[in-house]
Amino acid sequence: MTTPPNAMPQSLESQPISPPSLSRARLFYWSVRRELWEYRAIYLAPLIAAAVALFGFLISLVGLPHKMRSLAALDLAHQRDLVTQPFHFVAALIMGAAFLVSIFYSLDTLYGERRDRSILFWKSLPVSDLTTVLAKTSIPLLVLPVLAFVITLLIEAILLFLSSAVLLTNGLSVATLWTLLEPFDSMFALLYHLVTVHMLWYAPFYAWFLLISAWARRAPFLWAVLPGFAIVIFEKIAFHSSYFLDFLQGRLGGGREAVGNMQGNNVLDPGMQYTPGQFLISPGLWLGLAVAVAFLFAAARLRRYRGPI
């Protein structure tokens, strides 16, 4: 009795072939990579802002020697303001670009995949809706603040090197520049501000935008801002008060709990007094995070049942 040449052993035929499984961490990693691939503005906008700031600073280097010579006639506070102003402007410009990208990304990401019907393809992959929403949430809460910090760090290092070179070329000392700038303290102030405000304090806003992005059938920006306007107007007409408006302004302004007790009005001031303990025990932080978690859970549920537009 002979066996057909193309016959396979019974033990191999009966074994099902299952596709290789990926861990949740791996799926989350590739989901974040997908967002960076689809939304190039995530890293292009801060880079463009940095390039604009660098170009403007190069032009201002012409007057740097004269500025440093005139410092002797000013007191210490005005000397620090005059020297640190360009560096703070660069940091604010890059952070502002990252903040704007965070808002528009959060409003468009879940809405956009329904609008262009790519959600049909992404839902065919073995990635849960919760993993997808968490990956999208990591862009405004983690990726963009880290990118803003790294880009700011590199640009300000270039600015400091160029400033030192110009001063040395003109026979001036760079010790005054470094003393007034306090670059390491300034970088810590920037990092503290990004973590407390942009990553934690603004989390409810980004979660709300993601929820609206998952729900709205058109114009998600209007649906995101109109409820706030409606509440403010209703409260003003019905109760002649503005508590909700004051709450929104305080939350958007960073909140005293987040920025701490500041000397002056600049959150990037190296002389800023940090109060991380007070921030971590503040009810506003934890209530905001709880609201953000509820919004994200609702966004994941909506994504599961919402189809293409």
Span 73-112, pLDDT tens digits: 777 777 787 888 888 889 999 999 999 999 999 999 999 9
Q: What is the pLDDT of residues 167-195, one digit of tens each?
A: 888 887 788 778 877 878 888 888 888 99
State what percent of residues in the chain have pLDDT above 90: 45
pTM of the model: 0.85
Mean pLDDT, residues 141-152: 95
pLDDT average, residue stretch 56-82: 80
Give the pLDDT of residue 264: 42
- Does a structural domain hold residue 270? yes
CB 167 within 8 A of CB 173: yes
**pLDDT score at 188:** 86
271 — pLDDT class (breaks 50, 70, 90): low
Look at residue 147 and tell me whether its pLDDT is greater than 50: yes
Domain presence at residue 294? yes
Average pLDDT over residues 282-292: 92
What's the alpha-carbon Rg for the chain, to the nearest Å? 26
Which of 270 and 134 is assigned the larger pLDDT? 134
Comparing 269 with 84, which gets the higher pLDDT? 84
For range 143-161, the mean pLDDT: 93
Q: Is 273 helix (H, G, I), strand (E, B) or coil?
A: strand
Give mean pLDDT, residues 114-132. Answer: 89
Residue 20 has pLDDT above 60, yes or no: no
Domain membership of residue 3 (yes or no) is: no
141: amino acid identity, one letter = L
Domain assignment present for 62: yes
Q: State how far the Cα of 272 lies from the Cα of 267, in Å rounded to an integer.
A: 7
Q: Which residue in 201, 178, 204 sits closest to 256, CA to CA?
A: 201
pLDDT at 267: 57
Residues present in the chain in total: 309
**Which domain, by its residues, includes 285?**
25-305
The chain-wide mean pLDDT, for the chain, equals: 84
Q: How many domains does the chain have?
A: 1
67 within domain boundaries: yes
Q: Looking at residue 123, what is its pLDDT?
A: 86
Q: Is residue 232 very low, low, confident or very high in pLDDT (cuts 50, 70, 90)?
A: very high
- Under the banding of pLDDT at 50, 70 and 90, the label for residue 272 is low
Kindly state whether residue 149 falls inside one of the protein's structural domains.
yes
**pLDDT class for 275, splitting at 50, 70, 90?**
confident
Does residue 207 belong to any structural domain of this protein?
yes
* Position 12 in a domain: no
d(CA 208, CA 210): 5
